[in-house]
Amino acid sequence: MSRPDPLTRTIRDIPTELRLGADDGMPTDCVASFDNLRVVPKAYLV
């Protein structure tokens, strides 16, 4: 099983977000959102 975390450029400055940027290899500032986590089988990931 794996837990993909959705990324978004909508930064809300809430405790359940992890900011990412150029130092993390992202082309623009964004956040990983941990509000609605789901676990999916790795076979579903492309």
pLDDT digits (tens, 9 = 90+) for 10-45: 999 999 999 999 999 999 999 999 887 878 888 888
Residue 5 gets which letter from DSSP? -
Write down the pLDDT at residue 6: 82
Write down the pLDDT at residue 3: 67
Write down the pLDDT at residue 25: 94
**Which whole-number Å values give the CA distances from 21 to 5, 31, 32, 35, in the listed order?**
15, 8, 11, 20
* Assessment of whether the complete model's pTM goes beyond 0.85: no
